[in-house]
Structure 1
């Protein structure tokens, strides 16, 4: 495992769009958020580029990603938004280049595919955390703001029902490296070189704007692929606006969890404020997480950054 170096006030950071083009007005409103953290922001050309529903061609987006990793002045890379497109470039990335130039890589949603491709191919700890155009442009929750502190100093993270009510689906305690993210992207990795590895891991899942029957299909696919059997514990996070639209006769999301996950009797919690929600709390991919589903806590004792 490789930990990226911590940030210092005055460090330069890159903001790039490796998936879709952002809402540029929202992105511009959010850049002062990073500046208020004491960072100097370098904005990538992808933020103002459009190629259909992508922020440039695959080659352009890969080149910008590579340039951000190789630039010695850049200490962290923040993805501006998700959307669609990161899985298209996963096979084009030079992972040896990234391993030789480790630094903070931060995002979520469609960025989930890159978080795990990079982590699994290089060992680099990546960060599932809030992005500029979707989370930081206005009315930023104080806990969303505080979640960036883990990039500047080594701190332990403890997420409990003091932040949001949590439900215990299966009692128990387990620990393991934390993996996961957006359900659609985790499912799309199956059968590829970048398939999510859940063996002896703590798996967390979040989603947005998917109807229950679509969640059912994806959870079933993860179940059939052995991912819930492999995991040590399951953490179910925010499922924002995942309501029936086409099919008003529907199973509840909780019923889907009981159908696909609970039978494996792994410690399972639901309701964590991670994903398309406010607050949106960041977590380091690859760092050991302790899940106490009985006491309703998820604790990450070790830091995701190097402090030297």
Structure 2
């Protein structure tokens, strides 16, 4: 498959903000507003809020077609150069039947989100569009000023400045969760009590593997399984699969069963690497148990001894959150423990 790489963002561009899942901008407008101000002031972007961006949860839940129309209109508008999701949620899968796929593919542009946004990011990528798994306006963008300055550079490198090659590096520290969003004093803040300097873990792998990035939230993929929106097994050929779990909602045993399912489908024998994001709200003991479980399933049950496995990667429901471009070629070097994009993420 030939993937369509969207054009980069430039200072002064207009980006759309959508709420394809939960209505948290309506519940916590101060967090949402601050994220908008970060896009405007830190990246010099103009922001257009689509019709349901601030809609209440009940309206969003009752109107998946309206949510989809916002996404369709954002792609159709030639003045909009990129699309940011406000936050995740749990039912974005319901917008998929209403997406205007021909319109979207005729008007490729950056679309970025995470968690429940996996549904349409993964589906559009299967159709050939490079999409971006990364921070949302309320979770990641809103906190940018309280993260290391290297994170702003990372966002700029992936979305604004095409690089022929781009090497990922672990961030010096990360945090999980936020102070109570009900209090306006917590605008833009990270959870300083839950900071950590724990780096990536390379569990196994030999030599250099190459493939194209694909993945998202492991729980959302479970919702997609059995539908026409989940990839056919052949799609996983030569992919580097990345997965992350939500806020402590997926136990180690559940992840074991999901991986076993991937193995039985033949997915694990087709991919060129497996990257796991940080397990949110796991204790150190649970993280060790997760690493041992992943290795055990892949080695003992499916005899994939050479498959590179990296865990605790800066991706998922912790901050800073690396931006992962689905469909872009990547090199996983187990000898030097490097992960490098081998082509520009934007054109």
Deviations 1:212-232 (A, max 9, x none): 233223222222222212111
CA distance in 2, matches of 1:251, 1:260: 14
Deviations 1:99-153 (A, max 9, x none): 11111111111111111111112x1111111111112223234333222212111
In structure 2, the partner of 1:90 is 96
CA distance in 1, matches of 2:132, 2:286: 37
Contact 1:177 1:287 in 2 (8 A): yes
Contact 1:206 1:275 in 2 (8 A): yes
In structure 2, the partner of 1:215 is 255
Deviations 1:9-58 (A, max 9, x none): 11111000111112332111111111120100111232321243946511
Moved more, 67-76 or 232-241: 232-241
Moved more, 99-108 or 253-262: 253-262
User: Is 1:165 equivalent to 2:165 in the alignment?
Assistant: no
User: Is 1:260 equivalent to 2:297 in the alignment?
Assistant: yes
Contact 1:179 1:204 in 2 (8 A): yes
Select the residue among 214, 218, 221 that pairs with 1:186: 221
CA distance in 1, matches of 2:287, 2:137: 34
Give the TM-score taking structure 1 as reference length: 0.91
CA distance in 2, matches of 1:237, 1:273: 6
SS of 2:202 mapped into structure 1: strand
CA distance in 2, matches of 1:296, 1:162: 15
Contact 2:14 2:47 in 1 (8 A): yes
In structure 1, the partner of 2:29 is 24
Change in CA separation of 1:250 and 1:267 when aligned onto 2, cut-off 3 Å: closer
Deviations 1:221-279 (A, max 9, x none): 222222212111111221111459xxx99981112212223441212222211111122
Change in CA separation of 1:33 and 1:251 when aligned onto 2, cut-off 3 Å: closer
In structure 2, the partner of 1:271 is 312
CA distance in 2, matches of 1:231, 1:273: 20
Contact 1:269 1:293 in 2 (8 A): no
Contact 1:212 1:243 in 2 (8 A): no
In structure 2, the partner of 1:126 is 131
Give the TM-score taking structure 2 as reference length: 0.81
Query: What stretches of structure 1 of length at least 5 have no aligned partner?
Result: none
Shift of residue 284 of structure 1?
0.9
Contact 1:175 1:289 in 2 (8 A): yes
CA RMSD of aligned residues (A): 2.3
CA distance in 2, matches of 1:152, 1:212: 37
CA distance in 1, matches of 2:149, 2:268: 33
SS of 1:235 mapped into structure 2: strand
User: Is 1:204 equivalent to 2:213 in the alignment?
Assistant: no
